[in-house]
Amino acid sequence: MKKPLYFLLLLLWPALLHAQNVNTANDFNLNFDKKTPAKALPDKWAEWGRGYSVAADSAVKRNGAYSVLIKAPVKRENIPFGCVASTIPAAYRGKEIELRGYLKYNNVETGWAGLMLRVDGPSGPLQFSNMQIENNHGTQEWKQFSIKLPFSSAATAIHIGAILTGTGELWADDFELLIDGKPFTEAPEKKPFAAELDKEFDSGSKVLLGPGHALSPELITDLTNLGKVWGFLKYYHPAVAKGDYNWDYELFRILTPFAQAKTSAERQKIVLSWIEKLGLISEVKAVEIPKDAILKPDLDWIRKSGFQEALAGSLEKVVPAKRIYEHYYISQYPAGNPNFINENAYSQMHYPDAGFRLLSLYRYWNMIEYFFPYKALIREDWDAVLKEFIPKFLMASNETDYKLVTLAIITRVQDTHAYIEGQHDVLENYFGNKYAPVELAFIEGKPVVIDYYNPKLGEASGLKVGDVIETVNGKTIAQIIKEKTPYTPASNEPTRLKNMAPNLIRSNDSTVAVTYKREGKVAKANVKVYGPNSVDTYANYNKKDTCFKLIAPDVAYIFPGKFKNSYLKTIAPEVMKTKGVIVDMRCYPSDFMVFTFGGMLMPENRLFAKFTVGSLEAPGLFTFGPEVKVGGRNPDYYKGKVVVIVNEKAVSNSEYTTMAFSAGPNTTVIGSTTAGADGNVSSIALPGGIRTRISGIGVYYPDGRETQQIGIVPDIEIKPTIKGIAAGRDEVLEKALEIINDK
């Protein structure tokens, strides 16, 4: 899936965090007036992005000596944005942070202008906004804008700035940063948690496990149990919740004596002493588990793991402990999805040592165990998965093996949201860092050329739209699918094949030998492959020239991938004149249109979804929240036919939007099953600089039907054919027109 612009900004996080060197608490040059003569930018400000002109401007300003001007280049190919930014230490306490700033912009088109506010924690971004949703474009004289975000106690850095995408020019001046409505320098000083003062294992875990160290079956079983105890205490014990312990490093303290112990009984005594060190449970607040909970905490292992009575009893005393809402390691976003805070990614350890590798497994496994709303849909014994992967993580002998085994366990969660983010050179080199210039999709179960990523190079490849790939470097497609499946996360098989398609013709060599079928005849080709500077596998993402057009005099076509809510005022009157509208959801919406465009389709308030959210008081518990409605009393709702087209490209917000539109009285969904990954995402940081995600809340139809893995099942199933692709037809769109025209 195409990364939104915030992901590009996240890549700058480590560099900017270290590049800034703020020495005072009250002078951050928020009005841009201090400037060293030899420098282009005001003091304590830096340029993010590339290709845009970013400099101080003494001619156009709101106040003082300078503003900052961001100006788009004439040619913007592969140049996503321009941004001016400053970083402030998060040395303050509060509940809400606000950035205010004055902006002036001219001729901003094909993009937007806005403020940028990002709050980072130890493992990366916690909160972020760049006003993309507001879609500020056109021309605007000086005006004050504002961003408000929750301010977490886990914050370590605050990034503020202004951003421009698309064409035009943007001026910024007179910034203010507020915490709980007051200037941030007046906020209470944040005191470090005890967990943050523990530095003992910063240079390594000192754990002697892994290659060269034998793992007996008994030790593997005991390490499995240790991982469960470690995760249970992390999320259930009040002392850990308060931030009194660096729980990563506490693992390392126990691992060495634990591994050196001769028997399971000795190891249990070590664990019991470890728990006792955390102190007695002083307050109890038992949480009632609702009978209708969709997921309940699974703590039966405490009694079923063969623990001695002393250890089992000690663990059971932790279960009803009163837990504080502001847990050091876990919180919740406003939507209810988990926010995994204070998780160090240990990015400097590209190949972390054995202790950190085991930590990676324990951390991920327990996040899924207690905070994944679709854990029941994994449909295999999650305890057995932990045991299976302990030797795999410990015996990973290099960075490639470690990141592959991490990708493998992520794949086992069966969630399309759960991939490894960003670029990891060892994975690129393993799978191949060069790509064919042709776009493939599985049509009728076979990989078919449907477009070119690079038209010039694509035509030169010898392959044409409609060609069916039969073999790649002598391997059948079935063989390649079997090899890649363990490393291709997805919620369902159509989406797995969609995710796999760009990787079929991929290599570190300069050419790939391919056999293909065209018009019933098999032929061979040596296809040249290219690096990402020549072939962008996202080149056709949301590829349309407009969000709205009439494809017949009385039939409207909406493409959400280009749609903005600000366009609705102009579009709506034209849509209302038609007898039918086609919403092509084979994309990812560029704006949240559930309650805007969706409201046009409803005669009254209609139910379309309900959510499950997890619990901080009883980790592992998921219950249903209120049902969600769209629309309101509206006698002038759109009364024409509405046809929504979906396929495996429709993921997350696309699926949620389709659910909302489906509540309309005249809506028909056609196409094929969607990606089956719905719900607000939560980020996960793992040792070695690995970042992944999960679907963080459960999304269901009002009657309780699942959407995860299943996706949005169309009312009428219709798929493209190889013959239709070769002829340049969009057979699904043709069917949509037939439905509107009653054919």
H/E/C letters for each residue in 623-648? Answer: EEEEEEEECCCCCCCCCCEEEEEECC
What pLDDT was estimated at residue 324? 72
Alpha-helical (H) ranges within 585-727 are 597-600, 653-662, 722-726
Banded pLDDT at 597 (limits 50, 70, 90):
very high
pLDDT at 353: 96
For the beta carbon of residue 422, count every other beta carbon within 10 angstroms. Answer: 13
**In the predicted structure, residue 22 carries a pLDDT above the cut 70:** no
Residues 722, 730: Cα–Cα separation, whole Å:
11
Taken in order 463, 469, 475, 479, the sign of the CA dihedral is positive
Nearest to 155 by CA among 88, 249, 83: 88
- CB-neighbour burial class of residue 563 (10 A; exposed 0-12, middle 13-18, buried 19+): buried
Mind spelling out the 3-state secondary structure of 337-396? CEEECCCCCCCCCCCCCHHHHHHHHHHHHHHHHHHCCCHHHHCCCHHHHHHHHHHHHHCC
Cα separation, 253 vs 485, whole angstroms:
37
Band of pLDDT at residue 458, cut at 50, 70 and 90: very high
Specify the pLDDT at position 134. Answer: 83
For residue 443, what pLDDT band results from cuts at 50, 70 and 90?
very high
Quote the CA–CA distance of 630 and 662 in Å, as a whole number.
10
Asked whether 704 and 398 are in contact (CB, 8 A), the reply is no
CB 581 within 8 A of CB 638: yes
User: What CA–CA distances, in Å, run from 723 to 451, 465, 502, 681?
Assistant: 14, 10, 21, 38
pTM, two decimals, is: 0.85
pLDDT, tens digit (0-9, with 9 covering 90-100), for 73-102 = 987 666 778 999 999 999 898 989 999 999
> Whole-angstrom Cα distance, residue 707 to residue 712?
6
Give the per-residue pLDDT at 78. Answer: 63
Instruction: Give the pair of three-digit tokens for residue 342.
Output: 């204070």
The first and second tokens of residue 257, run together, are 């004596």
**C-alpha pair distances (Å), 306 with each of 6, 39, 300:** 48, 67, 11
**How high is the pLDDT of residue 25?**
39
End-to-end CA distance of the chain: 35
pLDDT at residue 123, rounded to an integer = 67
Other residues' Cβ atoms within 10 Å of the Cβ of residue 549 = 13
- pLDDT value of residue 13: 42
Whether 21 has a pLDDT exceeding 60, the answer reads no
- Phi, psi angle pair for 643, to nearest 5°: -120, 120
Q: For 483-495, what is each residue's pLDDT tens digit? A: 999 999 999 999 9
Q: For position 192, what pLDDT does the model report?
A: 87
| pLDDT (0 to 100) of residue 20 | 36
**What is the pLDDT at residue 397?**
95
Q: Is 519 left (phi over 0), alpha (psi -120 to 50) or beta?
A: left
Q: From residue 232, how far is each of 268, 370, 394, 419, 683 by CA, in Å?
A: 15, 9, 21, 25, 20
Give the per-residue pLDDT at 132. 83
Q: What is residue 211's three-state secondary structure?
A: coil
pLDDT at 328: 92
Q: What is the pLDDT of residues 37-64, one digit of tens each?
A: 989 999 999 998 878 999 999 999 999 9
Cα–Cα distance measured from residue 582 to residue 136, given in angstroms and rounded to the nearest whole number: 27
Task: Judge whether residue 440 has pLDDT over 90.
Answer: yes
Is the pLDDT assigned to residue 272 strictly greater than 80?
A: yes
* More confident call, 120 vs 388: 388
Whole-number mean pLDDT of the chain? 92
Supply the pLDDT for residue 77.
Answer: 63
Annotate 314-347 with b (16+ C-beta within 10 A) or e (fewer). Answer: bbeebbebebeeebbbbbbbeebbbbbbbbbbbb
- Among the listed residues 351, 346, 500, the one whose alpha carbon sits nearest the alpha carbon of residue 416: 500
Distance from C-alpha of 254 to C-alpha of 271, rounded to nearest angstrom:
8
pLDDT tens per residue, range 147-205: 999 888 778 899 999 999 889 999 999 999 999 999 999 998 888 889 999 999 999 99
Strands 555-558 and 580-584 turn out to be parallel
Q: What is the pLDDT of residue 515?
A: 98
pLDDT digits (tens, 9 = 90+) for 624-650: 988 999 999 999 999 999 999 999 999
CB 304: neighbour CB atoms within 10 A? 10
Tokens of 706: 């699942």
pLDDT of residue 700: 95
pLDDT of residue 716 exceeding 90, the answer is yes
Domains of the chain: 5-191 (2.60.120.260), 197-412 (no CATH), 434-528 (2.30.42.10), 548-740 (3.90.226.10)
Q: Is the pLDDT of residue 14 over 80?
A: no
pLDDT digits (tens, 9 = 90+) for 294-344: 999 999 999 999 999 999 999 999 999 998 768 999 999 888 999 999 999
CB 112 within 8 A of CB 166: yes
For the stretch 476-524, pLDDT in tens is: 999 999 999 999 999 999 999 999 999 999 999 999 999 999 999 999 9
